[in-house]
Structure 1
Amino acid sequence: MKRLHNFNAGPAVLPVPVLERIREEMLCLPEAGMSVLEISHRSKTFESILTEAEHRLRRLLGVPDTHHILFLQGGASLQFSMLPLNFLPKSGVADYILTGSWSEKAADEARKVGTVKIAATTREENYGRIPQPHELQLDPQAAYVHFTSNNTIFGTQWQTEPETGNVPLVCDASSDFLSRPLDVSRYALIYAGAQKNAGPAGVTIVIIRDDWLSRIADGLPTMLDYRTHVTHRSLYNTPPVFAIYVVGLVLEYLEAQGGLAAVAAANAEKAGKLYAAIDSGGFYRGTAERNSRSLMNVCFRLPSPGLEAVFLKEASANGFEGLPGHRSVGGVRASLYNALPMASVAALVDFMRDFARCHG
């Protein structure tokens, strides 16, 4: 069967060599005598898989020894609650920077635990840009500052982290995790659902600074306490064995590509080619301001909703999958995650050029 051009926002495209490796090992994992779907999470085989995944992630991101790596469940949405339960005291306040729907959801969950202050928002501008540094109204006494590094629905991305001084910085990096180098030492906590760049749905990667664990008050439910998972190395309960196995294969693939600097360069090239097509001719219109544009999720509109419907129908008929914009905003969205080949972007650009010529 012919593979489609997969522009889905997540679960998203995986590297073909990784899929081939999974197919090869699905029936019987080397030296295990059984499928990875059947092995015990207490076995030496899985211990090796988990350890190797952690080591590869440390190498790729340069994660210092001051930070723990956890492989959890519940998606980024569970982290919206788990974070404040652990680190937002009842008498404290947390700063949240709103740049889209997911940061809104994170703030809403935190409000159920304690006081949230909106340090900046571009909601009135339909989240078409990232706030400028001078717009941030940060509380120097805040428990932490939370931001979402990439906004899948609106197609915007932070180019660098907000400066927070001595206040701990927390990031939901779900949709651009592993797409570029990152200075992990600047963060108290980073969390990311794996289903964009790191692997399949089902596992959430959390990187947490060790000294921050001392701030957690006793009395939390066991599974919602980060210390539980640090102490048990993500093995307090049965982890998502298969998902972690795939994450390990993706990390191995990324290392073979030359690491995150090489990956970032490839992502910039893909996005640059697509944005150039959007900006030429006046038929297509990007929805994000140019200095806030995402390299992961390219959102654009056509002259009318009717033309967008025709565009999406013809695109689907020509093998382009996942191009409809999020149901809350409409339009067109092309997600350019790490594993999406340049050939898919080139094919989309050719299709867009032909469509504009026929309908412009």
Structure 2
Amino acid sequence: MTFDRRIFNFAAGPAALPEVVLKQAASEMLNWQGLGASVMEVSHRGKEFMALYEEVLHDLRTLMGIPDSYEILLLQGGGLGQNAAIPMNLMALGKNGPKADFLVTGIWSEKSYKEAEKYGAAHLAATSALEIFNTIPDEASWSLSDDAAYVHYCANETIGGVEFPGVPEVGGRLLVADISSNILSREIDVTKCGVWFGGAQKNIGPSGVTIVIVRKDLMGHSMSITPSIWDWSKQAATQSMLNTPPTFSIYMAGLGFKWLLAQGGVQAIEKQNQEKANLLYSFLDQSSLYENRVTKAYRSRMNVTFFLKDESLNAAFLAQSNAAGLVALRGHKAAGGMRASIYNAMPLEGVQALVEFMRDFERRA
């Protein structure tokens, strides 16, 4: 099936990119900055790429308000790689040996918890597994340790569609935040966490580069078993170029940052994201066919999960939505149902088209 126009891509990642970003990348593919070569073909240590690299860091600092007391690393390996790197770099700060607390609110934070068990004591401070990861446990039920090096949480669970409404309060303990699927979607106070990390493939650019924002005083505490490539202090000393960096992904991330700045920055895009989410959730709440099962206070603004109450209609829903140019709505295999990922690059028109289709499908069901 082919389309004579761009589809509305609701994929959870790699996700939709702004059309203007794709067009600029296409126009520069064969001749970047008059060099007669693609950005993928030039030296990562050449002056042209190094200037790009510094500009990417500057724009990200501007967008997120990242103070100079934090290092920005542009790494590879994705969030799963950081699930190993984080305990290897931080767990040794535990008062009585390597230890970390985990708030498990979905499949991704569960993966982080299980990976950390390889490097020390991973303490399950809270979990919503019994609620099928449809909520966030009440803070009064959290059992935070006094001797853990840090508390790890996932700010937005891509699969379950659960999002923390703000940075959790953990009594002055060091916080580590996985922001893979809501980075740059809403304003945050960077200083509330010691470490923020996330892949670029949802709100920034294509897959390949992982952003790690780490307070500088937290570097230099890695375990002796830490591979050099996962040692934050060694990466910082080489401008994230201990090995050849993902140059094209960094370039594309830079274009994404420029696009976001042109929209008015994070404050402006947050308003747009809230409008899109409100539109879709409002429709779901009044529907007799569809339902969202996440506690309202913790609904994600990025990944809207929903189910058809008559699941025998799932196949028809997916076939017809795909034919209408509304693609990638099938939910993750671990959760079932449907999922509409409405990241920064998804225009309001895309959500409006989805709601109109869902309303028409409901009338015909």
TM-score normalized by structure 2?
Answer: 0.96
- SS of the residue 2:281 aligns to: helix
**CA deviation profile, 1:124-168 (whole Å, cap 9, x unmatched):** 000001222212211122100000000111111000111122321
1:347 maps onto 2:353 in alignment: yes
| CA distance in 1: counterparts of 2:215 and 2:125, whole angstroms | 23
| CA distance in 2: counterparts of 1:145 and 1:32, whole angstroms | 47
Aligned-partner residue type, residue 244 of structure 1: I
Indicate the larger mover: 28-37 or 284-293: 28-37
Do the aligned residues in 1 keep the contact of 2:31 with 2:37 (CA within 8 Å)? yes
| CA distance in 1: counterparts of 2:341 and 2:352, whole angstroms | 14
Task: State the 1:317 CA deviation.
Answer: 1.2
Do the aligned residues in 1 keep the contact of 2:194 with 2:215 (CA within 8 Å)? yes
- SS of the residue 2:144 aligns to: coil
In structure 1, the partner of 2:242 is 236
| CA distance in 1: counterparts of 2:26 and 2:232, whole angstroms | 34
Question: Match for 1:80 among 83, 104, 115?
Answer: 83
Task: State the 1:16 CA deviation.
Answer: 0.7
Aligned-partner residue type, residue 17 of structure 1: V
Q: In the TM superposition, what are the counterparts of 1:43-82 in structure 2 within 5 Å?
A: 43-82=46-85
Question: Match for 1:310 among 308, 312, 316?
Answer: 316
Indicate the larger mover: 147-156 or 159-168: 159-168
Aligned-partner residue type, residue 94 of structure 1: A
Aligned-residue RMSD, C-alpha: 1.1
1:225 maps onto 2:231 in alignment: yes
Do the aligned residues in 1 keep the contact of 2:305 with 2:339 (CA within 8 Å)? yes
| CA distance in 1: counterparts of 2:226 and 2:345, whole angstroms | 39
Indicate the larger mover: 221-230 or 129-138: 129-138
In structure 2, the partner of 1:2 is 5
| CA distance in 1: counterparts of 2:152 and 2:333, whole angstroms | 25
In structure 1, the partner of 2:331 is 325
| CA distance in 2: counterparts of 1:312 and 1:217, whole angstroms | 48
Do the aligned residues in 2 keep the contact of 1:130 with 1:292 (CA within 8 Å)? yes
Indicate the larger mover: 212-221 or 269-278: 212-221
- SS of the residue 1:176 aligns to: coil
In structure 2, the partner of 1:34 is 37
Indicate the larger mover: 280-289 or 237-246: 280-289
TM-score normalized by structure 1?
Answer: 0.97
- Say how many residue pairs are matched: 359
1:207 maps onto 2:210 in alignment: no
**CA deviation profile, 1:22-52 (whole Å, cap 9, x unmatched):** 0111110023231111111011111011100
Aligned-partner residue type, residue 177 of structure 1: I
In structure 1, the partner of 2:187 is 181
| CA distance in 1: counterparts of 2:38 and 2:168, whole angstroms | 44
Task: State the 1:346 CA deviation.
Answer: 0.5
- SS of the residue 2:33 aligns to: coil
Do the aligned residues in 1 keep the contact of 2:203 with 2:344 (CA within 8 Å)? yes
Question: Match for 2:289 among 283, 290, 296?
Answer: 283
- SS of the residue 2:39 aligns to: coil
Do the aligned residues in 2 keep the contact of 1:141 with 1:167 (CA within 8 Å)? no
Q: CA distance change for structure 1 residues 219 and 80 in 2, over 3 Å: closer, same or farther?
A: closer
| CA distance in 2: counterparts of 1:221 and 1:202, whole angstroms | 19
Do the aligned residues in 2 keep the contact of 1:140 with 1:166 (CA within 8 Å)? no
Following TM superposition, the consecutive aligned residue runs of length 4 or more in structure 1 with deviations greater than 3 angstroms are none
In structure 2, the partner of 1:157 is 163
Runs of at least 5 residues in structure 1 that lack an aligned partner in the other structure: none
| CA distance in 2: counterparts of 1:281 and 1:156, whole angstroms | 20
| CA distance in 2: counterparts of 1:140 and 1:256, whole angstroms | 44
Q: In the TM superposition, what are the counterparts of 1:102-181 in structure 2 within 5 Å?
A: 102-181=108-187
| CA distance in 1: counterparts of 2:287 and 2:251, whole angstroms | 45
Runs of at least 5 residues in structure 2 that lack an aligned partner in the other structure: none
Aligned-partner residue type, residue 147 of structure 1: Y
| CA distance in 1: counterparts of 2:344 and 2:137, whole angstroms | 26
Task: State the 1:88 CA deviation.
Answer: 1.1
**CA deviation profile, 1:250-274 (whole Å, cap 9, x unmatched):** 0011011011011100000001001
| CA distance in 1: counterparts of 2:180 and 2:98, whole angstroms | 26
**CA deviation profile, 1:233-263 (whole Å, cap 9, x unmatched):** 1111100000000000000110110110111
**CA deviation profile, 1:184-222 (whole Å, cap 9, x unmatched):** 111111110100001110000000000111433455321
Do the aligned residues in 1 keep the contact of 2:285 with 2:291 (CA within 8 Å)? yes
